[in-house]
């Protein structure tokens, strides 16, 4: 997938790990030993929006930060936790019997791979990892749990945020509503078609495909405000992280250590936000396609 990079303030400057030549990688690494990991997935954002909204906005933010504050953007992760825990009830309410065409994976699979991604970053020479997830609601909490266990063994900084957390107190995140659709209208207007509703005469929730109730209030102007505020906060954090770094020669991490950390993370599954419903959340109906995922063991 070719990431959506937005406007490049320095023509010719490359930030993608996958596009850098070895000497270019070493130069950027020496200037700023920070790697960005954009996270998202494909899931419905109404009939009006591209499935990959979450990944696209995370990529855009990481590229903007890398251009402005330095660092290298790792390959995106376009698969994320969905279906399990609180997601099951949300999907029943907002998608119903429809096929959501998602790139969803279970929590244990996702968090295990996340730990191996962190290993790859440290072994490549990075001293800090900035993780931006465009898919949130609680998933970022589980990522932070895994990152904390990793940092207990490896002296690197792993900073995890969802994009709404970057602008907390300024804007309120949502799902395919005023907030998210405005973001995509600004960075990829070609991927939003507000005329493609098609759900008005479809009963219940499936035809709406999780479109937010305030979607009609979305605008590219609001999206510009949101995304610029996200970038400003993100760059400020990267500058802070970089200023606090103490260069250290980190030995290569073997599989065995990651397996030890992974075991600790998996044993803590009872505290995963994505493993069970939210407190007070309505139970999934017995015959729903989402019922098997309501509680994840």
Task: Name the CATH superfamily for 30-245.
Answer: Creatininase (3.40.50.10310)
Per-residue model confidence (pLDDT) at position 197: 67
pLDDT of residue 247: 83
d(CA 79, CA 180): 19
Would you tell me the crossing angle of helices 53-69 and 220-244 to the nearest 10 degrees?
A: 50
Per-residue pLDDT at 10? 53
CB 122 within 8 A of CB 261: no
Confidence at residue 272, expressed as pLDDT on a 0 to 100 scale: 97
Report the candidate in 188, 222, 206, 162 with the shortest Cα–Cα distance to residue 46.
Answer: 206
Pairwise CA distance, residues 206 & 95, whole Å: 4
Q: Whole-angstrom Cα distance, residue 166 to residue 79?
A: 21
Check if the beta carbon of residue 155 is closer than 8 Å to that of residue 289. no
Tokens representing 113? 């791979």
User: How many residues belong to the chain?
Assistant: 297
Domain ranges (residues) in the chain: 30-245
* Beta carbons of 4 and 60 less than 8 angstroms apart: yes
pLDDT value of residue 198: 60
Q: Give residue-wise pLDDT tens across range 221-259.
A: 999 999 999 999 999 999 999 999 988 888 999 999 999
DSSP annotation of 76 reads: P
pLDDT at 203: 42
Report residue 85: phi and psi, to 5°. Answer: 60, -130
- The 3-state DSSP class for residue 28 equals helix
pLDDT tens string 145-165 = 999 999 999 999 999 999 999
pLDDT at 202: 47
Low-confidence ranges of the chain (pLDDT < 50): 1-3, 8-9, 11, 201-205
């Amino acid at each position: 997938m070719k990431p959506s990079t937005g406007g490049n303030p320095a023509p010719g400057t490359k930030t993608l790990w996958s596009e850098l030549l070895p000497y270019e990688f070493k130069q950027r690494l020496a200037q700023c030993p920070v790697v960005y990991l954009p996270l998202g997935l494909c899931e419905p954002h109404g009939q009006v929006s591209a499935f990959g909204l979450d990944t696209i906005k995370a990529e855009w933010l990481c590229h903007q930060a890398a251009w402005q504050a330095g660092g290298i953007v790792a390959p995106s992760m376009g698969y994320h936790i969905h279906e399990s825990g609180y997601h099951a009830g949300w999907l029943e309410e907002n998608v119903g019997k429809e096929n959501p065409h998602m790139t969803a994976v279970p929590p244990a699979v996702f968090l295990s791979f996340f730990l191996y991604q962190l290993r790859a970053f440290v072994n490549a020479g990075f001293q800090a990892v900035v993780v931006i997830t465009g898919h949130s609601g609680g998933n970022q909490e589980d990522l932070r749990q895994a990152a904390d266990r990793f940092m207990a063994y490896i002296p690197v900084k792993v900073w995890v945020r969802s994009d709404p957390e970057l602008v907390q107190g300024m804007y309120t995140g949502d799902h395919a509503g005023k907030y998210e659709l405005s973001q995509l209208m600004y960075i990829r207007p070609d991927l939003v078609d507000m005329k493609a509703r098609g759900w008005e005469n479809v009963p219940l929730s499936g035809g709406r495909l999780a479109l937010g109730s305030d979607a009609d209030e979305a605008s590219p102007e609001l999206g510009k405000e949101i995304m610029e505020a996200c970038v400003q906060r993100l760059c400020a954090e990267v500058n802070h992280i970089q200023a606090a770094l103490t260069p250290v020669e980190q030995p290569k991490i073997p599989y065995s250590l990651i397996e030890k950390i992974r075991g600790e993370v998996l044993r803590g599954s009872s505290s995963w936000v994505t493993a069970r419903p939210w407190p007070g959340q309505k139970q999934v109906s017995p015959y729903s396609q989402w019922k098997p995922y309501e509680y994840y063991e």
